[in-house]
Amino acid sequence: MNQSACLKNYSEDSDSSAFHQAKIPPTVTPETLLELAATHGTPLFVIDHQELRKNYATFQKYLPRVQAYYAIKANPDPAIVQTLFNAGASFDVSSIAEFQLVHALLQDLSPEEQQDWIWNKVIYAHPIKATETLTTLNQYKPLVTFDNREEIDKIKKYAPDAGLVLRLRVSNAGAMVELSSKFGADPAEAVALIMEAEQQGLTVEGLSFHVGSQTTNFENYVQAIDLAALIFKQVRAQGYSKMNLLDIGGGFPAPYDASVQPFSELAKRINAELERLIPKDVQIIAEPGRFLVATAAIAVSKIIGKAIRHGKLCYYINDGVYHTFSGIIFDHCQYHLEAFKDGPSEICTVFGPTCDGLDVITMTDELPSNLECDDLLYSRNIGAYSGATSTYFNGFPPATVVHVNR
């Protein structure tokens, strides 16, 4: 079955079983992907802004007390930032470059309005900051995280007007990407760190934590909220009443496969703990990144070669781990490839286009065995941390980015 025939079937019967098996978001059908590939060539990276808006609305629906601060690191495409800005999102930034992406959206505001917006809608969530970064940030008086005494001294010297948020070390058990070994204050030191910052004339606005990226162990959130509630109680018992914010971080899992429980189930657990333990006067924020953008992008690539290696069918495509599929290495994520054509299938290996033996996309995907050069494949749910380190290694350029439903 050729691609044009496949395209005809999809366009004539959008409710066909093939459509549902493909599981492509309804607003970006296989027909759409093939048309875009014909227009723009491959490799192609298609971003669906309707899916972005839907994911943001879902987050707000199930966690109504929590304001979403989009973690720009998940995908810093300016058009994504613009869409979420228009939808009402706040922002988690971790570099000056990310901060400038947000600041560029505020050019129609007066300096005073810009400062007020940043104060209320941006958190610089990297606990360790260069002195130059702090100096640049200070004029905007943002919220910044910290997790150690050295950082208190730096903030006091270079960004004394910033509001502080203490990041706690919490369990990352079951997370795809573990962060607790790199960041987070020992909970036993939390009260002392808050008091030390106060003694230096700084204001600690609240607490934050991160349970690890793509966390499917929902107990991590329960334990972290319980810990934060205990520290709030201890600090208030010391007479410190300036903390009125809890940042429950990121880690909200994207639905990569059926093993990931529905977001509504996680939200139910979080809402119960917040209602039980966190006073109503405490503002709750979060830093979703992957959850908002993972399902909002699809990669389309072209087969450039085919071979049998050690008795196994191998395909070579024009995208790989140095480009859109870099998350395989840097995000510990496995993306699955699917074909537009039908046919007898078998377990295949798929390689990227470079000469590097590391450039392996999958060794376990089941694909039709009748695919040929110039046939197309696609990979869905690839919007988060894909192409995070995209390069021109070996002379191969990154995928062309196309935006739909803006």
The residue among 332, 337, 344 whose CA lies nearest residue 385 is 332
- Among residues 314, 333, 348, 355, which one is catalytic? 355
Pairing of strands 283-286, 312-317: unpaired
Q: How far, in Å, CA of 44 to CA of 176, rounded?
A: 26
Please name the amino acid found at residue 125. Answer: A
Q: How far, in Å, CA of 112 to CA of 94, rounded?
A: 23
DSSP states along 142-204: -EEEE-SHHHHHHHHHH-TTSEEEEEEP---TTEEE--TTTS-B-GGGHHHHHHHHHHTT-EE
Phi then psi for residue 324, to 5 deg, are -60, -30
Q: How far, in Å, CA of 14 to CA of 32, rounded?
A: 12
Q: Which residue in the block uniquely carries the two structure tokens 């908002």?
A: 292
Q: Work out the number of other CB atoms within 10 angstroms of the CB of residue 86.
A: 14
DSSP states along 12-61: H-TTSHHHHHHT--TTS-HHHHHHHHHHH-SSEEEEEHHHHHHHHHHHHH
Cβ 44 vs Cβ 300: under 8 Å: yes
State the DSSP H helix or E strand holding residue 101, giving kind and residue range, or none if neither: helix 96-103
314 as an active site residue: the answer is no
Residue 406: both structure tokens together = 């803006």
Burial category of 34 from C-beta neighbours within 10 Å (exposed 0-12, middle 13-18, buried 19 and up): buried
Catalytic residues, by residue number, are 355
